[in-house]
A and B are shown apart, each in its own frame.
Chain A
Amino acid sequence: MHLSPDEIIFWQLGFIKLNGTSVFTWALMLLLVVGAKLITRHLSTGLTRTRWQNLLEIIVTGIEQQIAEVGLSQPRTYLGFLGTLFLFLAAAALATIIPGYEPPTGSLSTTTALALCVLVAVPAFGIADQGLPGYLKSYLEPTVLMLPFNIISEVSRTLALAVRLFGNMMSGAMIIAILLTITPFLFPILMTALGLLTGMVQAYIFSILAAVYIAAATRTGTPGATLNA
């Protein structure tokens, strides 16, 4: 009974260790990349195409559309980051139907890492879009007095991102594990189905929140941003 896949240690050399989180993450990465590679190997540009290509096109254009709906005018710039975020989280949640698998998102280390990535990516995209002065100026909005609160909000939302995802994924896995010991067979299946739903919802929430943060950083409505846009 693990609280987190971090506790499954395969190999350790001092600080460096190979735990379940990394292994399951690599497995997911391998699945995603090989799957994508296999499907995109023979892409059709004509009017007829394979079902798998259709599926990928639906997914990619769907993500692109979602990003655009959040308010980012150049969705393709952010598609790599936000799309991968969603696909990784969704794949991690969907894979819970495989017995013996533990979602890497059930580890606070993974969610923290992802939240830190968002924490870095938001100012990175903001600076790329508005330039460093423009982006820094957005911390002084609407007045200089708001600077500490803006910084606190930046940190706290990162923390919230990490803990929200971790809590949901970990609890889902935990509940299934606990129910397996109490009422085997039927009930865990129901909870697994519910876990799939909450996993997808969390993946969506995480990605959308990241998109909203990036959107807020790239076009905060400051005069400078409008000028630089």
Chain B
Amino acid sequence: MLIDWFTVGAQAINFLVLVWLLKRFLYQPILDAIDERERRIAAELADAAAKQAAAQTERASFEQKNQAFDEQRAALLAQAVGEVQAERRRLLNDARQAADALAAQRAESLRSEANQLNAAIALRTQEEVFAIARKTLTDLAGVDLEERMVQAFTRRLSALDDAAHTTFAHALATASTPACVRSAFDLPAAQRTAIQQTIDTTFGMAIPLRFETAPDLVSGIELTGDGQKLAWDIADYLASLERSVEALLTAKSLPK
């Protein structure tokens, strides 16, 4: 008999025991180890994926910040350029205005210098004219300049037109203070008397007079009373001389 039934039973039990033992000592530990490793690998992969995602996010945010920074920089640069250009325009404007002001000042100073020069020339011319006239009159006619001026003044006084005459007469009659006769030089007593007589004769009444000397007077003699004024002077001559000198200067400076 090939089959021994006791052995069959024993082998079946042996086999079942072996199944239990191998389950206990082989399959379970090995499978647990594999599962544990797979879990760990999966965890590591998930961790890596999370890190990668985080890195991606960070990179995106960094790029965004970078872009924002670039844009901000470009905006600041554009603003700075704009400000610089505005400042440049302003400075140029200021410089131009300053230059204009300097030019105007210079022109003004030139003008005032010219005016002063003109005044000096006028004064000098007057003095020269007086000196020349005085010397000429003395040499040629034996006549005193001052005397001739008084004569001219009295002549003008006599030749007053009616309207002026009336106005002046009224002014002199109602004046509370004596009328004032001013001259560039001291009038001698004879000439003072002549003026007094001429005035009295002209206006037909005795008019009180006060004589004053004013060296800066351009004209020769003037009579003032209560707002009215009558004068003989050489201002007209001087003005015409000035005009001719100016015309000469202009003609000289033009060709330059």
Contacts and interface: CB of A to CB of B under 8 A. Distances in A.
- A and B interact physically: yes
A138 B99 CA distance: 118
A46 B30 contact: no
Interface in B6-63: 6-12, 14-23, 25-27, 29-34, 36-37, 40-41
B3 interface: yes
B4 interface: yes
Interface stretch (A74-82, A142-150, A186-194, A197-205): A74-82
A17 B6 CA distance: 8
B226 to A, nearest CB: 132
B2 interface: yes
B31 A80 contact: no
B14 A22 contact: yes
Contacts of B12: 113-114, 116-117
A57 interface: yes
Contacts of B22: 32-33, 36, 80, 83-84, 87
B29 A43 contact: yes
A60 B30 contact: yes
A41 to B, nearest CB: 9
A84 B36 CA distance: 23
B21 A40 contact: no
A88 B26 contact: no
Contacts of B9: 113
Chain A's interface size range is: 35 or more
- Does more than half of chain B's interface fall in helix, strand or loop, or is it mixed? helix
A80 B27 contact: yes
B26 A107 contact: no
Interface string A1-39: 001101000000001110101100110010011001100
A25 B11 contact: yes
A143 B233 CA distance: 163
A47 interface: yes
Nearest to B10: A22
A166 B6 CA distance: 17
Contacts of A130: none
Interface string A63-98: 000000000000010011101110110000000000
A56 B30 contact: yes
Contact of A47 (B8, B17, B23, B37): B37
A53 interface: yes
A84 to B, nearest CB: 4
A181 interface: no
A18 B34 CA distance: 40
Nearest to A82: B19
Contacts of B33: 40, 43-45, 53, 57
Given A45-B37, A109-B8, A25 B30 contact: no
Nearest to A114: B15
Contacts of B5: 109
A61 interface: yes
A158 interface: no
Given A6-B4, A79-B27, A80-B27, A88 B18 contact: yes
Interface string A100-122: 00001001111011101100000
Contacts of A112: 3, 8
B15 A56 contact: no
Contacts of A79: 27, 31
A11 to B, nearest CB: 12
Contact of B31 (A22, A76, A87, A109): A76
Contacts of B7: 6, 17, 19, 21-22, 107, 109-110, 113
A52 to B, nearest CB: 11
Contacts of A107: 4, 7, 11
A79 B26 CA distance: 11
Contacts of B2: 3-4, 6, 108-109, 166
A117 B27 contact: no
A68 to B, nearest CB: 14
Contact of B14 (A29, A60, A81, A83): A29
12 contacts: A25-B14, A32-B21, A45-B40, A60-B31, A80-B19, A83-B22, A84-B18, A85-B15, A87-B22, A109-B8, A117-B12, A117-B15
